[in-house]
Structure 1
Amino acid sequence: MSSLDHEQVLIRTGTRSGLPIIVAVHSTALGQAVGGCRLWHYADWRDGLDDALRLSAAMTAKCAVAGLANGGGKTVVAVPPGIEPDPALRRAVLDDVADTITALDGAYATGPDVGTTPADMAVIGERTPHVFCKPAQHGGSGDSSPATALGTLAALRAVRRRLHGTRTLAGARLSVVGLGSVGLRLARLLADEGADLLLSDIDPAKRAASDELGATWVSPEQALTADVDIVVPAALGGVLTEEIVPRLRCAAVVGPANNQLATEAAGDLLHRRGIVWVPDYVASAGGVVNALTVELHKGTPDEARERVEAIEHTVADLLATAEHRHVTPAQAATELAQRRLTGAW
């Protein structure tokens, strides 16, 4: 059995929903643990547990590298195949999640993730104060997608400067893989910048976005292996496999999708091929930076935007450190997170 480095993991069968409710608290060394609430289908609930453990650890690193006074956590509701939560079941799930979070006595606060929305956070907030990204009318910061997209744009600027000596993305050729709430917003920001875009999604209905933005529509596999400057993963994780990486024809991979590397070996292969990979937890930090700055730390929207845009400087510093020390940007980010977690700045 592999070692468990989480502070606590709470697994319950929801008293109302009957579904597995999993909350993993990885670290509170820097402050209250935070992380999204994922409502997703799993063939086995233990697959949901694996996601919760992995994603909560990534949140610890994300907060530490971003300089936030928070640790990492995650909620996963493991929905069996074939069950689609109707409004009654969804309400039951959210109430079960709220009760589980309450049992942790403030060690962890949750926000939206795959399968949940700011409106869902308002429902959870009826039973616990330990929630963020509620709609503005409920006193929250709302949808985190715009800030996540803005933070990813900042990361892309830093990489563009590193590769080409300019932070502007005008004329850069980028391939955006996944047009969900973050991916589509990011594609629009890039189109406004004048980038040359390839767009893809598993949902063919999203093709209309390519016409709207004057972009080229391709399949997800074509998008990953296209001859572009930067590939931007913006869907679910695991796209960078040991089979795909040798076929990449880009100089860098920078995107908001979580858990982009299928294996550690895929990351090593990226480095050997000279492809810059910015860790997803660094590039995607904008949403949590904005929400926590506004909601938990009571900063102004201008202060939150400034911190989101500072991701550009964070990435630039990581790339410089990686080059100076002959390590990967991922290694540089891991070391920075560890220093902050141990107080050795």
Structure 2
Amino acid sequence: MSIFDATGHEQVVFCHDPDTGLRAIIAVYSTALGPALGGTRFYPYASEEEALTDVLHLSEGMAYKNAIAGLDHGGGKAVIWGDPVADKSEALLRSYGRFVESLGGRYVTACDVGTYVEDMDHVARETRHVSGRSPESGGAGDSSILTAFGVFQAMRAAAQHRWGAVDLAGRTVGVAGLGKVGRHLLPHLVEAGAEVVACDVNDAAIRWTQEQFPQVRLVADADELIAAGIHVYAPCALGGVLNETALKTLDAEIVCGAANNQLASPEVAAELDRAGILYCPDYVVNSGGVIQVADEYDGAFDFKRAERRTAGIFETTGRILDRAKGEGTTPVAAADALAEERMAAVGRLQRMRLFR
């Protein structure tokens, strides 16, 4: 893979510390809007090539997510190659923190798949450029609460666009995945009067849902979920779930969920549009989490302030859907255009040299 020719990234850093077993890649896609912000994924990739492909793709996506969320941050991401259960250690995380610090603030890290607030506490002992720490260490803690709140705001905006009202009462919402975000989405939906159908592969998550929300109808898997007569499909677990097979049975009018990279391929966006299914771009819908970590990094964290900013996902989603309709394009194309316009307009200010 030719990184220079194929990616458009500003910087890709390979981090290796044999003593701790650290093998990590930090990718900075853009700093046009400010320091690149994006989480650290700890995952047992099959190969170095797979790890590199993932971090390049994820860091580019973070640039668009941060831009559309109105943050003064560019896009970046990091991956640690290994098994988070077997390979993670304080020494490895602190070693990784030193590599983050060596970038001098060009990259700000946070949690992602395989990393948690406790891990960021270790990283923070070696670098200032970290967010998503535990409340005990002065951080904001779990970002999934605001992520779920943002998903609900996007869902309300999609309902207004499709049905003329934000009200979800009487609508059937299918939630695929009852993990960090999915379980926090349930109370918003139940309180709004929606009928909820859900599934998860984890037995503990199923038992928790049965105990906490007995009114939620549980089905065996995602295949049964998308064929269950739902109005809104909310993928909140794995990516790539919107593929040709799923489109054959999906009868929802709206897709609006927290999972990253929901489209199996870029072409699926157009197929959803042709099928009359309103798709809310995932990086817009799930941006509540990055809004929280940005609030923590940019100053003393204030939950109410971050919540108000996350509520803006309602307006942003509506603007994207209106633009897509007005221009006869897909919501994905409309969201990408808005993000690129902001990166270009605000990024140009970086060329105006300031003398201090």
TM above 0.5, yes or no, is: yes
Partner of 1:314: 316
AA aligned to 1:198 is: V
Q: Deviations over 1:87-108 (max 9, x none)?
A: xx42233123212212211100
1:15, 1:96 within 8 Å by CA — same for their partners in 2?
no
CA distance in 2, matches of 1:297, 1:5: 30
Q: Does 1:235 align with 2:237?
A: yes
Q: Does 1:41 align with 2:44?
A: yes
Q: 1:215: Cα distance to partner?
A: 0.9
1:226, 1:250 within 8 Å by CA — same for their partners in 2?
no
Partner of 1:22: 25
Superposition map of 1:1-345 within 5 A: 1=1, 3-79=6-82, 84-85=85-86, 89-211=88-210, 212-213=212-213, 214-218=215-219, 219-298=221-300, 300-343=302-345
CA distance in 2, matches of 1:277, 1:25: 28
AA aligned to 1:205 is: A
CA distance in 2, matches of 1:224, 1:61: 28
Identity, % of aligned positions = 36
Q: 1:344: Cα distance to partner?
A: 7.2
CA distance in 1, matches of 2:104, 2:160: 45
CA distance 1:179–1:209, shift in 2 (3 Å): same
1:271, 1:328 within 8 Å by CA — same for their partners in 2?
yes
Provide the TM-score with structure 2 as the length reference.
0.91
CA distance in 1, matches of 2:207, 2:198: 10
- State the secondary structure of the residue aligned to 1:197: strand
Q: Deviations over 1:135-192 (max 9, x none)?
A: 1221111111101011111101101111222212222201111111111111222122
Q: 1:290: Cα distance to partner?
A: 2.0
- State the secondary structure of the residue aligned to 1:271: helix
CA distance in 1, matches of 2:299, 2:244: 41
1:21, 1:96 within 8 Å by CA — same for their partners in 2?
no
CA distance in 2, matches of 1:97, 1:283: 30
Q: Deviations over 1:206-263 (max 9, x none)?
A: 2224423111111122123432111001012111112222321101111111111111
2:40, 2:109 within 8 Å by CA — same for their partners in 1?
yes
AA aligned to 2:259 is: A
CA distance in 1, matches of 2:226, 2:92: 36
Partner of 2:353: none
CA distance in 1, matches of 2:138, 2:312: 25
1:277, 1:329 within 8 Å by CA — same for their partners in 2?
yes
Moved more, 231-240 or 287-296: 287-296
Which blocks of at least 5 consecutive residues in structure 2 are unaligned?
Answer: 348-356
- Count of aligned pairs: 341
CA distance in 2, matches of 1:321, 1:273: 19
Moved more, 49-58 or 204-213: 204-213
AA aligned to 1:199 is: A
Provide the TM-score with structure 1 as the length reference.
0.94
CA distance 1:274–1:297, shift in 2 (3 Å): farther
Q: 1:42: Cα distance to partner?
A: 1.6
